[in-house]
Amino acid sequence: MSSVVISGTGLYAPPSIITNEELVASFNAYVLRHNQENQAAIERGELTALKPSSCEFIEKASGIKQRHVVVKDGLLAIDRMMPLLPKRGEGELCYSAEMAVAAARQALAQAGRRAEEIDFVLCGASTSERPWPAVAIEIQKELGCVGFAFDMTVACATATFALSTACDAILSGMARKALVINPELMSPQINYRDRDSHFIFGDAATACLLEREEEATASPLYRILNRRLKTSFSYNIHSHCSFTTMAEPNLTFERFFAADQFFVQRGRKVFRELLPMICETVEGQLHDQHINIADIKRLWLHQANINMNNYVARQLLGREASREEAPVALDEYANAVSAGSIIAFHKYRDDLQPGDLGLICSFGAGYSIGSIVVRKVR
Alpha-carbon gap, residue 37 to 55, rounded angstroms: 25
Q: Judged by CB under 8 A, which stretch of 129-137, 207-215, 297-305, 326-334 contacts a copy of itself? A: 129-137
220 belongs to the binding site for a copy of itself (CB under 8 A): no
Would strands 222-231 and 368-376 be described as parallel, antiparallel, or unpaired?
Answer: antiparallel
| Contact between 363 and a copy of itself per CB under 8 A | no
Cβ burial 22-54 (10 Å sphere, 16+ → b, else e): ebbebbbebbeebbeebeeebeeeeeeebeebe
Rounded Cα gap, residues 149 and 162, in angstroms:
12
Applying CB under 8 A, which of residues 240, 269, 272, 378 lies at the interface with a copy of itself? 240
93: how many CB neighbours lie within 10 A of its CB?
A: 17
**Residue 45 C-beta: closest distance to a copy of itself, Å:** 28
Beta strands in 256-351 (DSSP E): 264-265, 296-301
Torsions phi, psi for 226 (to 5 deg): -160, 145
Of 13-21, 43-51, 223-231, 298-306, the segment contacting a copy of itself by CB under 8 A is 223-231
One of 8, 83, 327, 340 touching a copy of itself (CB under 8 A)? 83
Note if the bond before 220 is cis, omega within 30 degrees. yes
| Residue in 87, 290, 319, 323 binding a copy of itself, rule: CB under 8 A | 87
**CB-based burial of residue 366 (10 Å sphere; 0-12 exposed, 13-18 middle, 19+ buried)?**
buried
Q: Judged by CB under 8 A, does residue 37 bind a copy of itself?
A: no
CA atoms within 13 A on the CB side of 337: 26
Q: Which residues are catalytic?
A: 156
| Cβ 269 to a copy of itself shortest distance, Å | 12
Q: Which is nearer to a copy of itself, 50 or 143 (CB)?
A: 143
Could you say whether residue 271 binds a copy of itself (CB under 8 A)?
no
CB atoms within 10 A of CB 138: 25
Any contact of residue 203 with a copy of itself (CB under 8 A)? no
Which x/- pattern, by CB under 8 A, does the window 295-324 give for a copy of itself?
------------------------------
Q: CA-CA distance, 104 to 318, in Å (whole number)?
A: 37
Residues binding a copy of itself: what is the number (CB under 8 A)? 83
Please say whether the beta carbons of 341 and 362 come within 8 A: yes
Cα–Cα distance, 144 to 147 (Å, whole number): 10
Q: Three-state SS for 259?
A: helix
Residue 238 CB, nearest distance to a copy of itself (Å)? 5
Which lies closer to a copy of itself via its Cβ, residue 357 or residue 369?
369
Closer of 180 and 313 to a copy of itself (Cβ): 180
Q: Shortest distance, CB of residue 170 to a copy of itself, whole angstroms? A: 9
Taking the least distance from each CB to a copy of itself, the nearer of 15 and 249 is: 249
Which member of 40, 45, 214, 243 binds a copy of itself (CB under 8 A)? 243
Contact status, residue 369 vs residue 278, Cβ threshold 8 Å? yes
**Residues in contact with 121: Cβ distance below 8 Å, sequence separation at least 6, in sequence order:** 104, 136, 137, 139, 140, 143, 145, 147, 148, 149, 178, 179, 181
Residues between 99 and 118 that touch a copy of itself (CB under 8 A)? none
- Quick check: 229 binds a copy of itself (CB under 8 A)? yes
Give the nearer residue to a copy of itself in terms of CB position, either 166 or 326.
166
Asked if 127 interacts with a copy of itself (CB under 8 A), we say yes
Asked whether the beta carbons of 235 and 161 are under 8 A apart, the reply is no
CB of 222 to a copy of itself, least distance (A): 18
Stretch that binds a copy of itself, among 247-255, 284-292, 297-305, 354-362 (CB under 8 A): 247-255
CB 358 → a copy of itself: shortest distance, Å?
20
Judged by CB under 8 A, which of 27, 30, 95, 199 binds a copy of itself? 95
Q: Interface with a copy of itself includes 353 (CB under 8 A)?
A: no
